A = this chain, B = another copy of it.
Amino acid sequence: MTIEAMARGAKDAARRLAAVPTATKDAALEAMARGIEARRREILSANARDLARADADVAAGRMTKPLRKRLALDDRKMQGVVDGIRDVARLEDPTGRIEYEIEVDDGLILRRVRCPIGVLAVIFEARPEVVPQIASLALKSGNAAILKGGSEAAESNRAFHAAIVDALAQVPEFPAGAIQLLETREEIREILAFDAWIDLVIPRGSKALVRSIQEATRIPVLGHTDGICHVYLAASADPAKAMKVVLDAKLDYPAACNAMETLLVDSACAARILPPIAKALADAGVELRGCPRARAVVPPMAPASDADWDTEYLDLILSVRVVDGLDDAIDHIHRHGSAHTEAIVTEDPAEGEAFLARVDASGVYWNVSTRFADGYRYGLGAEVGISTNKTHARGPVGLEGLTIYKYVLRGAGHAAGDFGPGKRRFLHRRIR
């Protein structure tokens, strides 16, 4: 099958899927969960073959150990996959929801109704369990999906995909071609040209991957570039809350995009609040890199270079800067942040509210660790990814982010030419 035929087939499937009732979609998800359970051993042996190749690659220095680790499936992960599909089945179907309804004229009723986007192209690396995870989110929201995983997980991805396709084929009314798998980079490059059939591209991976895809396509891209998150300790910060928020934001999971990379401290409280926090961070193995004023307060700190303020370490490193009040802190955040998640610690309500109102980021927090920026913690149920876009969906993206709306207008032979000066007037009466 050509890539064009695949894209066209996915679009056909998406259009049929959009009219499939929730119960059928949930039945398909249950069939997926059972199909993967039934083929657990088959999938694990495919994964073992990927791992054997990976071990050779690690030995030859062609693959890193963390990548090899992300590739590995085991019984616990397989159970997580199956549970995850059933969790998605239990989530509310975001499609079909009437966002509002107005009476435009007698007998002319306009509704805005939530509906699927269409065809998603999802590009990811390493973890093969993303195949069933994205497939379940796409199906629940009524979208078709074309998946491209990392070549290092090729056999595992293929085994998951086969189990899913076979399971969906058992569900009557369920359109074929809804979940497709690409295997090569050339195929991805080709599919990015088909903007008539692909509606949204979701790259899950490095900033370089996201940018290269944004440059290669006219199709909208939902992605995540940097996560340079700040915590700002204001003059009135409570020392215990500051300690708690800072340690969690840096230490809970330093490799996450919502981990803190820079700590900002108001000059009015730096000498008082910074030393014990710096000590606790250093004791936990964090390397601190400070501006001159921060180093004056915490003498053993290494100096920060200009590049440090723009660096996402994803590691046990933290840059520390002393600033002069809220304006200076917000200015630093806007200049160096990535509009991901930004936090202030303060006991001054006016200052807290000003920070929340003025900081331009997908998440703005007051006395809370940046690590809460996550679909599960937000109560979205499941997460497609985190978006640093300023349009469509921002921050943690759940099922709703895979939908859009359409306008549904029911009338009785209404003509627009009957309205206007000296003619009929619109009612525009809100019904709901």
Enumerate chain A interface residues (CB-CB to B < 8 A).
14-15, 18-19, 102, 104, 108, 110, 117-118, 199-200, 211, 214-215, 218, 220-222, 238, 240-242, 244-245, 247-248, 251-252, 334, 345, 352, 354, 356-358, 360-369, 371-374, 377-379, 389-392, 394-396, 404-419, 426, 428
Supply 11 further A-B pairs (C-beta < 8 A) apart from A244-B413, A248-B418, A365-B408.
A18-B360, A19-B357, A199-B390, A220-B390, A245-B415, A247-B415, A356-B408, A365-B411, A379-B426, A391-B391, A391-B392
A58 shortest CB reach to chain B, Å? 30
B404 near A373 with CB under 8 A, answer no
Q: With A360-B15, A415-B252 given, is the CB distance from A410 to B352 under 8 Å?
A: yes
Q: With A104-B379, A252-B415, A389-B220 given, is the CB distance from A405 to B409 under 8 Å?
A: no
Of B251, B368, B391, which contacts A220 at CB under 8 A?
B391
B411 near A366 with CB under 8 A, answer yes
Of A118, A242, A374, chain B has the most CB atoms within 10 Å of the CB of: A118
Of B240, B374, B379, which contacts A102 at CB under 8 A?
B379
A407 near B395 with CB under 8 A, answer yes
Q: With A379-B102, A390-B199, A426-B377 given, is the CB distance from A369 to B406 under 8 Å?
A: no
Q: With A390-B199, A417-B248 given, is the CB distance from A409 to B363 under 8 Å?
A: yes
A366 proximity list for chain B (CB < 8 A):
409-411
A415 proximity list for chain B (CB < 8 A):
244-245, 247-248, 252, 369, 371
A-B contact pairs, 10 of them (CB 8 A): A15-B334, A199-B391, A248-B416, A248-B418, A366-B410, A367-B412, A368-B411, A369-B416, A377-B419, A394-B405
A419 proximity list for chain B (CB < 8 A):
377
User: How far does the alpha carbon of A18 sit from the alpha carbon of B364 in the complex, in Å?
Assistant: 14
Chain B: CB-nearest residue to A241 = B413
A406 near B413 with CB under 8 A, answer no
Of B356, B390, B416, which contacts A377 at CB under 8 A?
B416
A391 proximity list for chain B (CB < 8 A):
117, 199-200, 220, 222, 391-392, 404
User: How far does the alpha carbon of A356 sit from the alpha carbon of B115 in the complex, in Å?
Assistant: 11
A178 shortest CB reach to chain B, Å? 15
A249 shortest CB reach to chain B, Å? 8
User: How far does the alpha carbon of A242 sit from the alpha carbon of B415 in the complex, in Å?
Assistant: 11
A407 near B363 with CB under 8 A, answer yes
User: How far does the alpha carbon of A416 sit from the alpha carbon of B252 in the complex, in Å?
Assistant: 7
A102 proximity list for chain B (CB < 8 A):
378-379
User: How far does the alpha carbon of A379 sit from the alpha carbon of B112 in the complex, in Å?
Assistant: 12
User: How far does the alpha carbon of A354 sit from the alpha carbon of B20 in the complex, in Å?
Assistant: 11
A358 near B409 with CB under 8 A, answer no
User: How far does the alpha carbon of A214 sit from the alpha carbon of B216 in the complex, in Å?
Assistant: 11
A19 proximity list for chain B (CB < 8 A):
354, 357-358
